[in-house]
Chain A
């Protein structure tokens, strides 16, 4: 199956938050009780009921005051730490190239929350009992697997969010970034085609990623690598070794004691 991807062109985005509301509508997510905090941005963060959110960034740079908008949500890493740490396979690599989430399988362990380098998954969780489900954008897996486009892409009024064949999106994004550079946006770039094995949500940026609140060089967390590749196998090995050691001991002692008895 050819991989799909989403391309968010921030230079076309108007911060209308249609994506944010369309996401809530399609997934029937509850609204949050918010207050104005001196910003257009609300709800204040991604949450169990907010999977997509537009962030607003007022940046004073060489070109005067800039107001950047970013349609933010899961970026669907190809090398996704969240998938690797998920003990129940609720988070999976979908053959179409995004990170799917089966809420029924999730047990709320929250490993994905700690593993994600972008702080995406959120847990609707009872602090005391730990009961809950992790949530995040799943690229409208129900729609996409039926050949439809994600709700946010469908609604985006200014046509800033595009969706389609991943390779085409990368090409389109690179073309846009190049065109922007030609227009004088020296810092313009396509964010994500090679990050974490390639993101499934890429961004055309007019300026440095940090100006949009994006990590400049997000990496697969070392702790997760160590945990997955080293400590977990090592631990399993340790338990096995212990069991083998004990079995060996059992055999040895039996034999030696048997000999002793014969001697007696």
Chain B
């Protein structure tokens, strides 16, 4: 989230697209309701079916699953054509005026692809997506600067490209592709784009409905572009807000529980970055990322302590270099082909939650060993005796380690709003159940013991690993390391001691100011300060994440004394944008931070996302490094040009602007271009001609669109909810929601058993015949759309077939998140 949960109360319009907060984030609706009650805010919901969120919406518009870019593109087009964007904001804070490479061509001109496409490699060379640059000599140093247009009308500027690109996304096109009636779409457009007026705030809430597509990243980009145009980023009640499901999934991302990242989004070294210099060269020198190398050194000192020295490039060679994609789908492909021999599954239930789950369950059978750490037996730990599986045919040795649940262990939880809250342990785990930290500690100690005495260089990373969290291990000691502490005197460039040895680091400003990063061990620069003693608003100091202070200066719902939000306890990111370029707030009513000319500092209710004393009129020093290279209006200080990117010159594999492609399985040809599917996605084809395999279905055989989703009553793959009687009784069985029209066509009555088939598998479910799903008219064709929850499996009290037996093995072009949200099926009434 750029903003945070409580901030929803400040919105004038709440647009929910690709999310279902009432269902999956019930507490968020408290703040949406607050906005509706107190500010007469409008709730707009765009979803394939009338959801529990849609039920409370002021405006609900149906959309065919997998066509969000067309809908959002339509909104972008509407905002531009009707000049509803916040022009002052767009000019000052975004890259709208930046000139793009003259050879850049978009899909409109190139039949669906961007310039730089290599059809053989199925990938892009992003050279033509770059800014036009000019080189200047400043104080004797040649610097390269982007070239800027004088006005938004310059045909080579970002804004002009944006305008051209989305001119094709007309209301008629929205109706044709999304199946949303044109007048309904226009109502949504008018309602939401009205927030482009300065002083108005519109927020977009989304979740996996946006991300779990082959164009998932571009879906999110489309929302960001719209919000930048409307001036909704960085202001209270605005933002692009990912509603994250698990209580600590934000924390797990921050701490890099992903194959390609290091804590604090520092990024894993790749095979191309063979040495430290090449690795650190990836960071911009004209943004806050100029501190990237320092943060990286702090991390290496936290991990390897004295073994990481300036001389050995801070033990850079200890880190494995990523040579491929090790995300979920490739991982299970490797399991399937027997490349991977062992698997630790911690609080994961791939037998239910993985795409093409039948394929993935089969892959589990190729393992030599499988360790599952769980509260209950799950389909994964029980895969070897699943219905229809002969245990004799499974060679995998399975261990189930009983784990402690959230209440039975101390630690911090990070919400979607980046708020970190410490929780104490309130009960002991039952029987032999252990906290995760205890299990991991034992594994690490055992590993170290096994390697003890080794002289091989390759074993140094394990032997040198700093591992002193106590016995039994204490979460507080891990927290201290993540927060960061001084290894020696931490001095700034003038030799002033900032932190004494052994003391915790007060904040990331110290990390940036430290002359020698080797004097600090910090496990995550973004979290620097979260465990440092801080005032809770009543004069009592405690580790910041433990605070529960209730003061809310300004009444914006910032609550700066409650817990701690990364970075720097900042609650709204990019909040420099909440003030006009000259430093005055856009609106007196919704002011957040502003330039106090008398005190010569940024004042307000939130921690400014800006150097605290940098005046609005400050000019950039093109020869400077870091934030010195940015001006007093460069609000996006993590970007090399300090601007919000309407157009992405780098960072994306599939284009600088979001372009619509159909899902891998779709009932129609892409009406926007001749390119059907995102051209750079990888389609796996393992055993595609076998019964269990990476099969792709055709519309002739599977004419119905299907999507999967969650229920309030169940959690993820169900281990924590399908085992609880109180929850099991509320949603006891697998079901599929189908329209009355489809039911009539197939002679299905409400409550009948039906069979749903896809190219990957077939499942049985109870038919829930409802008016909340309606058939779509897309590209002149009537298509049926159904949906189902994916929580179910055969273990537990509430059981049923797994929806993921139907979903395909294909992922987003950038993130590889599986396309769970749009695929093709057929459906018939079950005989019995």
Mask for A26-66, Cβ within 8 A of B = 1, else 0? 00001111111111101100000000000000101000111
What is the minimal beta-carbon distance from B25 to any residue of chain A, in angstroms? Answer: 9
B731 contacts A36, CB within 8 Å?
yes
A67 at the interface (CB under 8 A from B): yes
Mask for B46-69, Cβ within 8 A of A = 1, else 0? 000010111110101000000000
A132 and B427 alpha carbons, distance in the complex (Å): 36
Q: Which residues of A contact B23 (CB under 8 A)?
A: 14, 16
B767 at the interface (CB under 8 A from A): yes
A16 contacts B726, CB within 8 Å?
no
Q: A38-B750, A60-B771 are in contact. Are A20 and B730 (CB under 8 A)?
A: yes
Interface-lining segment among A74-82, A86-94, A152-160: A152-160
Mask for B713-727, Cβ within 8 A of A = 1, else 0? 100000000000111
Q: A16-B26, A24-B726, A157-B30 are in contact. Are A58 and B772 (CB under 8 A)?
A: yes
B766 at the interface (CB under 8 A from A): yes
What is the interface residue range for chain A against chain B? 35 or more
Q: Point out the residue from A20, A65, A160 that lies within 8 Å of B33, measured CB to CB.
A: A160
In chain A, positions 154-183 with a C-beta closer than 8 Å to chain B are 157-160, 176, 183
Q: Which residues of B contact A43 (CB under 8 A)?
A: 729
A69 contacts B55, CB within 8 Å?
yes
Q: Point out the residue from B53, B54, B732, B735 that lies within 8 Å of A34, measured CB to CB.
A: B732
A14 contacts B53, CB within 8 Å?
yes
Q: Point out the residue from A25, A64, A158, A176 that lies within 8 Å of B22, measured CB to CB.
A: A158
A16 and B23 alpha carbons, distance in the complex (Å): 7
What is the minimal beta-carbon distance from A55 to any residue of chain B, in angstroms? Answer: 13
Q: Which residues of B contact A34 (CB under 8 A)?
A: 729-730, 732
Q: Which residues of B contact A176 (CB under 8 A)?
A: 37
A21 contacts B727, CB within 8 Å?
yes
Main SS at interface, chain B: mixed
Mask for B19-33, Cβ within 8 A of A = 1, else 0? 000110011011011
B768 at the interface (CB under 8 A from A): yes
Q: For residue A43, which residue of chain B has the nearest CB?
A: B729
A233 and B40 alpha carbons, distance in the complex (Å): 56
B26 contacts A65, CB within 8 Å?
no
Q: Which residues of B contact A21 (CB under 8 A)?
A: 726-727, 730
Q: Which residues of B contact A158 (CB under 8 A)?
A: 22, 26-27, 29-30, 32-33
B33 contacts A16, CB within 8 Å?
no
B573 at the interface (CB under 8 A from A): no
B604 at the interface (CB under 8 A from A): no
Q: For residue B34, which residue of chain A has the nearest CB?
A: A159
Q: Which residues of A contact B735 (CB under 8 A)?
A: 36, 38
A60 and B772 alpha carbons, distance in the complex (Å): 10
Q: Point out the residue from A31, A65, A69 that lies within 8 Å of B729, measured CB to CB.
A: A31
A35 and B733 alpha carbons, distance in the complex (Å): 6
B52 contacts A58, CB within 8 Å?
no
Q: Which residues of B contact A60 (CB under 8 A)?
A: 771
B50 contacts A17, CB within 8 Å?
no
Q: Which residues of B contact A12 (CB under 8 A)?
A: 29, 33, 36-37, 56
B728 at the interface (CB under 8 A from A): yes
Q: Point out the residue from B52, B726, B727 that lies within 8 Å of A14, measured CB to CB.
A: B52
Q: Point out the residue from B22, B33, B54, B58 that lies within 8 Å of A159, measured CB to CB.
A: B33
B712 at the interface (CB under 8 A from A): yes
Q: Which residues of B contact A20 (CB under 8 A)?
A: 730
In chain A, positions 138-160 with a C-beta closer than 8 Å to chain B are 157-160
Q: Which residues of A contact B30 (CB under 8 A)?
A: 157-159
A222 and B582 alpha carbons, distance in the complex (Å): 74
A14 and B26 alpha carbons, distance in the complex (Å): 8
B732 contacts A14, CB within 8 Å?
no
Q: A12-B33, A12-B37 are in contact. Are A68 and B55 (CB under 8 A)?
A: yes
Q: Which residues of A contact B22 (CB under 8 A)?
A: 14-16, 158
Q: A21-B726, A157-B30, A158-B22 are in contact. Are A65 and B733 (CB under 8 A)?
A: no
In chain B, positions 772-806 with a C-beta closer than 8 Å to chain A are 772
What is the interface residue range for chain B against chain A? 35 or more
A131 and B733 alpha carbons, distance in the complex (Å): 33
Mask for A164-204, Cβ within 8 A of B = 1, else 0? 00000000000010000001000000000000000000000
B816 at the interface (CB under 8 A from A): no
A31 contacts B771, CB within 8 Å?
no
B33 contacts A17, CB within 8 Å?
no
What is the minimal beta-carbon distance from A193 to any residue of chain B, in angstroms? Answer: 20
A114 at the interface (CB under 8 A from B): no
A11 at the interface (CB under 8 A from B): yes
Q: Which residues of A contact B732 (CB under 8 A)?
A: 33-36, 42
B731 contacts A67, CB within 8 Å?
no
A133 and B364 alpha carbons, distance in the complex (Å): 51
A66 contacts B726, CB within 8 Å?
no
B731 contacts A58, CB within 8 Å?
no
A12 and B34 alpha carbons, distance in the complex (Å): 9
A25 and B730 alpha carbons, distance in the complex (Å): 14
A16 and B55 alpha carbons, distance in the complex (Å): 12
A18 at the interface (CB under 8 A from B): yes
What is the minimal beta-carbon distance from B325 to any residue of chain A, in angstroms? Answer: 37
B225 at the interface (CB under 8 A from A): no
Q: Which residues of A contact B729 (CB under 8 A)?
A: 31-34, 42-43
B52 contacts A16, CB within 8 Å?
yes
Mask for B734-767, Cβ within 8 A of A = 1, else 0? 1100000000000000111000000000000011
Q: A67-B55, A68-B55 are in contact. Are A31 and B728 (CB under 8 A)?
A: yes
B726 contacts A31, CB within 8 Å?
yes
A38 contacts B768, CB within 8 Å?
yes
Q: Which residues of A contact B26 (CB under 8 A)?
A: 14, 16, 18, 157-158
A222 and B728 alpha carbons, distance in the complex (Å): 41
Q: Which residues of B contact A13 (CB under 8 A)?
A: 56
B769 at the interface (CB under 8 A from A): yes
Q: For residue A15, which residue of chain B has the nearest CB?
A: B52
A43 and B725 alpha carbons, distance in the complex (Å): 12
A60 and B770 alpha carbons, distance in the complex (Å): 11
Q: Which residues of B contact A160 (CB under 8 A)?
A: 33
A157 contacts B56, CB within 8 Å?
no
Q: A31-B725, A158-B22 are in contact. Are A36 and B56 (CB under 8 A)?
A: no
Q: Which residues of B contact A183 (CB under 8 A)?
A: 40, 58
Q: For residue B30, which residue of chain A has the nearest CB?
A: A159
A104 and B752 alpha carbons, distance in the complex (Å): 43
Q: For residue A156, which residue of chain B has the nearest CB?
A: B30
What is the minimal beta-carbon distance from A45 to any residue of chain B, in angstroms? Answer: 12
Q: For residue B58, which residue of chain A has the nearest CB?
A: A183
A14 contacts B771, CB within 8 Å?
no
A229 and B770 alpha carbons, distance in the complex (Å): 47
A14 contacts B29, CB within 8 Å?
yes
Q: Which residues of A contact B40 (CB under 8 A)?
A: 183
Q: Which residues of B contact A159 (CB under 8 A)?
A: 29-30, 33-34
A39 contacts B768, CB within 8 Å?
yes
A14 contacts B55, CB within 8 Å?
yes
What is the minimal beta-carbon distance from B35 to any residue of chain A, in angstroms? Answer: 11
A12 and B41 alpha carbons, distance in the complex (Å): 13
Q: Which residues of A contact B725 (CB under 8 A)?
A: 30-31
Q: For residue B21, which residue of chain A has the nearest CB?
A: A14
A69 and B766 alpha carbons, distance in the complex (Å): 22
Q: For residue A184, which residue of chain B has the nearest CB?
A: B58
Mask for A230-244, Cβ within 8 A of B = 1, else 0? 000000000000000
Q: Which residues of A contact B52 (CB under 8 A)?
A: 14-16, 67, 69
Q: For residue A66, which residue of chain B has the nearest CB?
A: B55
A169 and B508 alpha carbons, distance in the complex (Å): 48
A66 and B58 alpha carbons, distance in the complex (Å): 11
User: Measuring CB to CB, which residues of chain B are less than 8 angstroms from any residue of chain A?
Assistant: 22-23, 26-27, 29-30, 32-34, 36-37, 40, 50, 52-56, 58, 60, 712-713, 725-735, 750-752, 766-772
In the complex, 11 of the A-B residue pairs with CB atoms within 8 angstroms, ordered by the A residue number, are: A12-B56, A16-B26, A31-B726, A34-B730, A38-B767, A38-B769, A42-B729, A66-B55, A157-B26, A159-B30, A183-B58
Other A-B contacts than A12-B56, A13-B56, A14-B26, 14 sampled, CB-CB below 8 A, are: A15-B22, A16-B23, A17-B730, A20-B730, A21-B727, A25-B726, A31-B728, A32-B729, A34-B729, A36-B766, A38-B768, A42-B729, A160-B33, A176-B37
